[in-house]
Chains A and B, each alone.
Chain A
Amino acid sequence: MKRNKSDAPSALADVTRKRGQWSDVLSRLFRNKIGLLGVIIVLLLVVLTVFAPLFTRYPYDAQSFPDRFKLPDASHIMGTDNFGRDLWTRLLYGGRISLLIAILASVISNFIGVFIGSVSGYFGSKTDTVIMRALDILMAIPPLLLAIAISSSLGSGPVNTALAISLSGIPYSARIIRSTVMSIKDSEFVEAARATGSRHLRVIFRHILPNTIAPLIVGATLGIGANIMAISGLSFIGLGVHPPIPEWGSILADGRAYIRDFWPIIVFPSIFIMLTILGFNLFGDALRDALDPRLKD
């Protein structure tokens, strides 16, 4: 008995077809209808904001006193704000800043978080204790306060704002990765990798990290929503983006004063933020499933 009976007529044709891992992932991603919706939402937002001038005929800072607080109509499809600026225009331009900073901050904090978390979780003992206590200190500082401190020392600007926001996100992603790594590092397949001579870095990058993708993606997509709100907080106290440059959070913050009398100024920015978070969440969930070979078909 060297071979299973059912193996014997081996279909050699399959062997020659080397399955491209990425084409596999993409095909799975696009078969998921809800995930596709997420992709479309995200792409739509990116296209709208990046090519904002193509979708509007107003500049974002053109004030017009007679046109204040106009409800949506043919000339201003989302109405105007308290300075008579076209809301649709401001939301498109504002999306540039919000999306850029939010995504950048999420990428930075998760990138650093993955590194710190995996080192901490993999090596354990003293390394872990030192890193985790340091992160605890970071976590003890209120995120906004931390971001204020960094912004004020680095100065404003999109990259600095992203850095300021990402710093307070590091402990969260590091903790998620650390706990996942700790549960995976004791699996037999990790031991098997060590038994076949893999060095620590190879074990971490090839065997452990690919298995932490699920919580990582969920954390990152949720983080994008939180980041948008954090930017507005910074802008509100003048450290994020300076007026009149629009940004979703600050439009919302400015609109707060008129919430009882003029609904568009609150509703439309909220819809944009909600769509962003929704889009990234759906996209993230689908990506997580597409990357997991166990959930194929």
Chain B
Amino acid sequence: MSLLQINDLTIHYVTRGGTVKAVNGIDLSIEAGRTLGLVGETGAGKTTSALGILGLIPKPPGKIISGQILFEGADLLKASQGKMRMIRGNDISMIYQDPMTALNPILRVGDQISEVIIQHSGCSKAEAREKSEGMLETVGIRAERAADYPHQFSGGMKQRAVIAMALACNPKLLIADEPTTALDVTIQAQVLEMMRELKDELGSSMLLITHDLGIVAETCDDVAIMYAGEIVEIGALERIFHNPRHPYTLGLFGSIPSLDKDVRRLNPIPGLMPDPADLPSGCKFHARCAHACDDCGSGSTELCETERGHFVRCRRVAGGEI
């Protein structure tokens, strides 16, 4: 059994201006101890999916249309508010993108971590303090700095502290939403390295949300590529990186300037991400796709297994035409 199994999850935001179809029937699963990279551009529905797992979709305007989120076999969508509160921070925790705003500026860093521990384990203040200092040491911050306020920390240290807080209760699943986007590249390397080590040490699973295929290459075991609220390609890391099939995935790889090869011109995907309030019919990508044929503009396109454990949502790939 997978640790987390999402079936046909659909989340819409119903506003006066129209229905924003943020997540449209995604299926994915994360096995214990593995890291899944969820890749996509702004507006692909990555963050909405993550908030959906944590039961943090603001309702209204958010609305879960359909689907199941099975965590250790139990459907989180049917869990009560109280149960979800117990799960959040304890079994599933989240690391946010911006470490600058994820910490409360007027509380000591150590106290903020202790608070999480006390909430979920009900241990004494002294125990929690000891544990929180231990957590800080684990993420590479000296224990005496637990008494500091967030503004006394540098950007990288803040993100380490946020990670310490997320890991304080040994969660089974860690959701990291662009955890290093706000950091400089050398600090990013340090934080990613630390996250890899900690994850192995604690045996947690991780859902890593990012737009950076480089980070995925270095941290993930499995990859899911998201476009316009759908998963367009999913599979093991090697399969996706060695044999990307979906035209959008290929486009993403073509857009990144390479450090190894000399490419005079990049090959960007033409056009823009469709407005999630006004999605095209048929394959969501067909208007930007170089391989689109007339058929692609209508009907629905299903995920199709092109090789073992490698699924692609493209009719022409499924038909063996590309």
A and B touch in the complex (CB under 8 A): yes
The interface of chain A, by Cβ under 8 A from chain B, is: 1, 4-6
A275 and B287 CA atoms in complex are apart in Å by 55
Residue of A nearest to B270 (CB): A5
Q: Is B257 an interface residue (CB 8 A)?
A: no
Residue of A nearest to B271 (CB): A5
Q: Mark B268-306, 1 if CB is under 8 A from A, else 0.
A: 101110000000000000011000000000000000000
How near does chain A come to B263, taking the closest CB pair, in angstroms? 14
A4 and B270 CA atoms in complex are apart in Å by 6
- Interchain CB contact under 8 A, B272 and A4: yes
A5 and B271 CA atoms in complex are apart in Å by 5
9 further interface pairs, Cβ-Cβ under 8 Å (given A1-B268, A6-B272, A6-B287): A1-B270, A4-B270, A4-B271, A4-B272, A5-B270, A5-B271, A5-B287, A5-B288, A6-B271
Contacts of A1 in B (CB 8 A): 268, 270
A4 and B287 CA atoms in complex are apart in Å by 11
A40 and B271 CA atoms in complex are apart in Å by 47
How near does chain A come to B272, taking the closest CB pair, in angstroms? 6
A72 and B288 CA atoms in complex are apart in Å by 74
Residue of B nearest to A6 (CB): B271
A4 and B272 CA atoms in complex are apart in Å by 7
How near does chain A come to B17, taking the closest CB pair, in angstroms? 8
Residue of A nearest to B287 (CB): A5
A6 and B272 CA atoms in complex are apart in Å by 8
The interface of chain B, by Cβ under 8 A from chain A, is: 268, 270-272, 287-288
How near does chain B come to A291, taking the closest CB pair, in angstroms? 21
Contacts of A4 in B (CB 8 A): 270-272
Residue of A nearest to B17 (CB): A297
The contact sample of 6 A-B pairs, CB cut-off 8 A, is: A1-B270, A4-B270, A4-B271, A5-B271, A5-B288, A6-B271
Contacts of B272 in A (CB 8 A): 4, 6
A4 and B269 CA atoms in complex are apart in Å by 9
A1 and B269 CA atoms in complex are apart in Å by 9
A6 and B271 CA atoms in complex are apart in Å by 6
A62 and B129 CA atoms in complex are apart in Å by 82
A283 and B287 CA atoms in complex are apart in Å by 45
How near does chain A come to B247, taking the closest CB pair, in angstroms? 14
Contacts of B268 in A (CB 8 A): 1
A152 and B57 CA atoms in complex are apart in Å by 63
How near does chain A come to B277, taking the closest CB pair, in angstroms? 13
A1 and B287 CA atoms in complex are apart in Å by 15
How near does chain B come to A31, taking the closest CB pair, in angstroms? 14
How near does chain A come to B276, taking the closest CB pair, in angstroms? 15
Contacts of B271 in A (CB 8 A): 4-6
With a 10 A CB-CB cut-off, give which of B268, B271, B272, B287 has the most chain A CB atoms.
Answer: B271
Contacts of A6 in B (CB 8 A): 271-272, 287
Contacts of A5 in B (CB 8 A): 270-271, 287-288
Contacts of B270 in A (CB 8 A): 1, 4-5
A1 and B271 CA atoms in complex are apart in Å by 9
A229 and B271 CA atoms in complex are apart in Å by 59
A283 and B272 CA atoms in complex are apart in Å by 39
A1 and B270 CA atoms in complex are apart in Å by 7
Contacts of B288 in A (CB 8 A): 5
A1 and B288 CA atoms in complex are apart in Å by 12
Contacts of B287 in A (CB 8 A): 5-6
7 tightest Cβ-Cβ pairs between the two chains A and B: A5-B271, A5-B270, A4-B271, A6-B271, A1-B268, A1-B270, A4-B272
Residue of A nearest to B266 (CB): A1
How near does chain B come to A7, taking the closest CB pair, in angstroms? 8
A212 and B61 CA atoms in complex are apart in Å by 31
How near does chain A come to B184, taking the closest CB pair, in angstroms? 21
Residue of B nearest to A3 (CB): B270
A6 and B270 CA atoms in complex are apart in Å by 9
How near does chain A come to B19, taking the closest CB pair, in angstroms? 17
How near does chain A come to B199, taking the closest CB pair, in angstroms? 38
A218 and B272 CA atoms in complex are apart in Å by 39
Residue of B nearest to A5 (CB): B271
Residue of B nearest to A297 (CB): B17
How near does chain B come to A118, taking the closest CB pair, in angstroms? 30
How near does chain A come to B289, taking the closest CB pair, in angstroms? 10
A288 and B15 CA atoms in complex are apart in Å by 23
Residue of A nearest to B267 (CB): A1
How near does chain B come to A5, taking the closest CB pair, in angstroms? 4
A5 and B280 CA atoms in complex are apart in Å by 14
